[in-house]
Structures are given as C-alpha cells and as structure tokens.
Amino acid sequence: MFYESNSGVTVSLNSVSYASSFPVATVWVSGDSGTVLRSPNGTVWTNVRSGPIPSTLSLNVACAFDINNVLVSGTDSDSSYIFMSSNSGSNWIKVFSQPNGYIYSICKTSSIGGVAVGKPINGRWSLWKTTNKGLTWDSTNLYLQQAVNELSWNNSLFCDPSNNFVWFGTNNSRIYRAQNLSNWSFGQTVQQNSFAVFFTGSFGFMGGNYIMSSTNSGNNWTATSSNPSGSEDITSIFYGPIGIFVTRKNNQIHKGLNNGSSWSTVYTAASGNYLHSCYFSSFGGGLIFVRSNGGITLCNFPDKIELLSSEVPQHFSLSQNYPNPFNPTTNFEFRIADFGFVNLTIYDVLGREAATLVNGNLEPGVYKANWDASDFTSGVYFYRLATNEFIETKKMMFIK
C-alpha cells in the first residue's frame, strides 16, 4: 500500500499538487533551493526549475490547474513571488510579487479561477484572486481585516470548487471561510493553531496539535474522540475512500476510521518529516506525501475507479450498486455526460459521510467505482452522485 519514490533531491519538499486530464496526469512538488519537481505518475521525477526562479529561493507552494498550467510561490528577504508555467514546466514567468509579503497557500476555485492567501500587511489579510489560471492577480473586493497580529500557515488553505467555499487556518484560534470569495466569516476553535484544513461538502477536519471536526462547513468545531499518536504539529489531512490520513511533523503516517474515533500508524519513513500531502490519482486512487529531506511516499487505495468506456453518454446517470446487499465490497456504475467536477459519496443512515470515492474532475464516459466496507458496521447506507448538472441518491444494504 505504501512505497517510496526517489525524488532525486535531498532538500526540503514543502508542497505537492496534482492535476489530470484523462489519460494524462501530472504531479508537482515544490521545495527549497528553487526545486520544482514534475512526474507523470509519482515515481519518475524531473526537476523543471528554470528561468526566473532563483535556485536560492525556498518554494513553499505548488498549485496545479491542469497538466500544463502550474503555479509555485516562494519568498526571499525582500518580497514574495508567484511563478507560472503554461507548458508543463518548460518555461516559467513571474506573474506576481509583493514587497515584504509572504504567500502561505494557493488553491483552485474553478478550472480557471484560484485564490492566494498571504501574510497580512497594514492590518489587512493579503488575499488575491485569479480568473486566468494565475496569469494575473487582483485583490478587489477581498478585504478581510486582520485580528490583532494573527498569521496563517503554509498549505493551510483548502478550496472546494463544487460549492465555491474556501477555508484557511490561522494562529489565532480562527479558521476563516467564505463562499464565492465574499462575506468572510470564521469558525472559532479551542486550538490556537490550525495548520491543516480539509473539507468534503460541509464535513471537515482541522489539525493543530490534535484533530477537530466540523459538520456545518466550519462554523463550529469539535475535538474528535481520539487522535493520532505523537505530539508534533499536524501538517496534512486527507479524508477519502478508506478513512482519514494524517501526518504530523515527524516520519509517520496515521490513519483514522469512523470519523476519527480510532487511529493507527500505517507507515513509518526511514527519515525526514512529513510536510504536506495530496490526492494524486482520479483512477485507482492514492495519496502522495512529501518530506523535509527530499523523501516522497506514495499510497495506493484498494478502492478502484475504472473507466469502462470513453464513449460520451447522452445523459448523466447513477446505477444501483451491485451486489446489493453486499459483504464487504460493492460496485457503483455511473455515466458522466460532460467534463467537470464529480463527487461520489457514501453516507450512513444518520447522514454522516462514510467514504468519498470520487472528488475531482472527470472526462465524459462510463465509470465503475468500488467500495470496501470492511471497516464499517452492517446496516443501511446511501450513495450520492453529484455534478454541477446532476444529483442522484440511492440506497444499499451492507450485511456482515
């Protein structure tokens, strides 16, 4: 399930991002010494830093819009910068600079839109938006006042394009949020620091020294009943098909089940501290984790998403799962009529999210997804397929 990939570098790798356009995919990693790594599959890496990106610059952000368009950001003693490539890293241009600034995070809000969060300047959070994949940036109508001397953290920004929500963490017991990048509000937490944030729909997790969850889009936060072992700061969270994956700033990866009620250490690297992670494949499913010593760890999910046919269906549809009842695995077949964001989520009888099988852009076609419910209790479950144009929910029965 877990295996190491040779990055070819030993510098700190600080951020990872992924984009796909079936059947081509690209993983991007940014790090110290101006490092920008590109890989088609997470196993073979090429350092594509060139042009205006200084070899002395520490790059703490990577954000891929698609397989060709990617952004990286870094800061030196004078300014913060964003660099863009529109040809898979063959060439780079500087598209943003801010004196005395610091860009913490960048993420996609749509196929061409994005938002960047930076260090507050003169009492105002540095918030920027793009509508052309990062070529130009604008802060108009993005005013958010800084409270006292609060700051944010690297990679603590999370965007959900399906409902136009964004969240970012701070060191002030607040997680800020907005829909359509307007009417900013915050959820108060009992933890001072929120280093990592992850949402699927209205259900989300945040991590400081321990894990907290929210069921109402971050308006309220509650500590989970247990936490992954260790005392270091949490650096990444992913909630997906087979549980919650969490890293602290050490060499271990932890997995949580039942919304964080139980945890186990599922992988220990030989050296280096984990700094960031992301989902890295829409087909087959997996995670990629980057470390402070150039280490990269890959994880393949046992659940599979398979393209059955690339013929464009006339309409969206979701079939009844099979087998049904099932024990412990079942399959879901669905049809996607147009390219766009697709979410396939499983809920228990109380409406709580049990697993997310698909959460990203898919090309038109006929697909099959698989779910292994071995770690869940018997009973009635519901599964919902949602796109920008279509929503359908069906019922199924799990019998052990």
Residues 163 and 18 in one domain: yes
Residues 183 and 331 in one domain: no
Residues 338 and 249 in one domain: no
Residues 23 and 39 in one domain: yes
Backbone angles phi, psi at 263, to 5 degrees: -135, 150
How many separate domains does the chain show? Answer: 2
N-to-C CA span, the chain: 25
Q: Where are the beta strands (DSSP E) in 40-101?
A: 46-47, 58-64, 70-75, 79-85, 93-99
The residue among 261, 279, 300 that closes a domain is 300
Residues 292 and 323 in one domain: no
The residue among 251, 281, 300 that closes a domain is 300
Tokens standing for residue 160 = 């959900």
Residues 106 and 127 in one domain: yes
Backbone angles phi, psi at 228, to 5 degrees: -65, 150
Among 229, 228, 247, 227, which residue's Cα sits nearest to residue 237? Answer: 247
Domain range holding 172?
A: 2-300
CATH number of 375's domain: 2.60.40.1930
For the chain, 400 residues long, give each residue's pLDDT as a single digit of tens: 789 999 999 999 999 999 876 556 799 999 999 999 999 888 899 999 999 999 999 999 999 999 899 999 999 988 999 999 999 999 999 999 999 999 999 999 998 999 999 999 999 999 999 999 999 999 999 999 999 999 999 999 999 987 889 999 999 999 999 999 999 999 999 999 999 999 988 889 999 999 999 999 999 999 999 999 999 999 999 986 567 899 999 999 999 987 888 899 999 999 999 999 998 764 456 899 999 999 999 987 655 677 788 788 999 999 999 999 999 999 999 999 987 778 888 898 988 878 778 876 677 889 998 888 877 889 999 999 999 889 999 999 999 8
The residue among 245, 274, 300 that closes a domain is 300
Residues 22 and 144 in one domain: yes
Residues 91 and 112 in one domain: yes
DSSP-assigned beta bridge partners for residue 118 = 103, 126
Residues 285 and 338 in one domain: no
CATH number of 267's domain: 2.130.10.10
Residue 375 near residue 398 (C-beta atoms within 8 A): no
CB-neighbour burial class of residue 180 (10 A; exposed 0-12, middle 13-18, buried 19+): exposed
Residues 228 and 349 in one domain: no
Residues 33 and 164 in one domain: yes
Residues 151 and 236 in one domain: yes
